[in-house]
Amino acid sequence: MSGQRMNSNQVRFASYNTLDYGLSDAPEEIDRRERVHAVVGSIDADVVAIQELRADGPEQAGRAAGLLREIGEAAGLSCELPDGSAAVALGNVGFHVGLLWKPGIEPMSWRAWSGRQFWHSCGRVVLDFGGPRVGHIAFHGRPFGKFARADEFERFAAVMLRPHDGYPTIAGLDGNIAYAHRASGGAWYDPDPFAGQPVNRDTIHQCTWHTDEHGQRVFAVDRHPGEILTVAGIVDAAVATTAPWMPTTGHWYHDQVDRRIDAILATPDLAPALLSYGVVSTDTARAASDHLPIFADYDPHSIVRQFTDSDGS
């Protein structure tokens, strides 16, 4: 795959929504899971945020942990925390997130949020790279409810910017939103995927609208949740590294428009350390999930500073 590393100090952080991973053990789904394994291995990431580990019922915690370990074992990655548990954050409706990292990277602390805080879930692990310590987040945003989604991203911004330990943080997420960062010329980095499109299944929960002088509804993508991130000063790795825009969804059979709803975001103190960003758009990736994985490379030794207090001082 593309995206060779620039130096030996850099860390590659990837994010991947694996599409109902573990929901079924049918032969075709086992085959697809093996494609997911191949994709994760091909990225050669040091840390990977995973979304859509699927497990329900009273045994969901063990099942979700087993699914994350399955991906990790296939790709040569670990998810074991100091207490022996897996780095899984359980969601409310059977969708869970987790984090994986290469052996030799030491997990220092872990925190998970779900319940009334997030519709799905959010997990954050602090990793020690032999000097710098950096928080890494896996997050899956809610798909429905424009106002609830905005409220959720206020909470997510607080998780990133006001960590209990104060360490710089980078997040991999399926945000289920249109991001609102602007390119250097002032235009939106992410184009409006619904501009000029007929009403479709995504229009109501992803758009705002008004009635024009002819009595026709005019739809525009809802950028309010993304604006919250921008106003908070959270940095989008794709924009910061001036990477060409590429969608992360739109290739799957049920998709109607191309969108970039997956992102890698950084706190302001980590942003200067960002080196590159990419989307994995191989044939295997396109056949493995309805989301394409993304990655960003950063140099932990180039982080501007590390907070010492939880209030950012």
The verdict on residue 250 lying in a domain is: yes
Q: Tokens representing 296?
A: 């960003």
**Mind spelling out the 3-state secondary structure of 164-208?**
CCCCCEEEEEECCCCCCCECCCCCECCCCCCCCCCCCCCHHHHEE
Could you tell me the CATH number of the domain that includes residue 274? 3.60.10.10
Give pLDDT tens digits for 232-281. 999 999 999 999 999 999 999 988 899 999 999 999 999 999 999 999 99
The verdict on residue 308 lying in a domain is: no
Q: Give kind and range of the element (H or E) at residue 297.
A: strand 294-298
The verdict on residue 139 lying in a domain is: yes
What band does 305 get if pLDDT is binned at 50, 70 and 90?
Answer: low
The C-alpha atoms of residue 120 and residue 115 are separated, in whole angstroms, by 8
Query: Given a cut of 50, is residue 312 above it in pLDDT?
Result: no
Q: Give kind and range of the element (H or E) at residue 211.
A: strand 207-211
Contacts 24+ apart (CB under 8 A), 156-160: 156/118, 156/122, 156/229, 157/228, 157/229, 157/232, 157/234, 159/113, 159/122, 159/124, 160/232, 160/234, 160/265, 160/267
AA identity, residue 169? T
> What pLDDT, on a 0 to 100 scale, did the predictor assign at position 131?
79
Give pLDDT tens digits for 46-55. 999 999 999 9
The verdict on residue 261 lying in a domain is: yes
> What pLDDT, on a 0 to 100 scale, did the predictor assign at position 104?
95
The verdict on residue 28 lying in a domain is: yes
Query: Given a cut of 50, is residue 308 above it in pLDDT?
Result: no
Bigger pLDDT: 238 or 306? Answer: 238
What is the pLDDT averaged over residues 34-55?
98
Angle between helical axes of 146-161 and 224-231 (0-180°, round to 10):
20
> What pLDDT, on a 0 to 100 scale, did the predictor assign at position 290?
98
The verdict on residue 141 lying in a domain is: yes
The verdict on residue 239 lying in a domain is: yes
Bigger pLDDT: 166 or 18? Answer: 18
The percentage of the chain sitting over the pLDDT mark of 90, rounded to a whole number, equals: 81
The verdict on residue 312 lying in a domain is: no
**Is residue 140 within 8 Å of residue 17, measured between CB atoms?**
yes
The C-alpha atoms of residue 274 and residue 253 are separated, in whole angstroms, by 34
Number of domains observed in the structure of the chain: 1
Give pLDDT tens digits for 283-301. 999 999 999 999 999 999 9
Q: Among 152-166, 245-259, 298-312, where is mean pLDDT lowest?
A: 298-312
> What pLDDT, on a 0 to 100 scale, did the predictor assign at position 115?
82
Mean pLDDT rounded to a whole number for the chain:
93
**Is residue 139 within 8 Å of residue 149, measured between CB atoms?**
no
> What pLDDT, on a 0 to 100 scale, did the predictor assign at position 56?
95
Domain of 253? 11-302
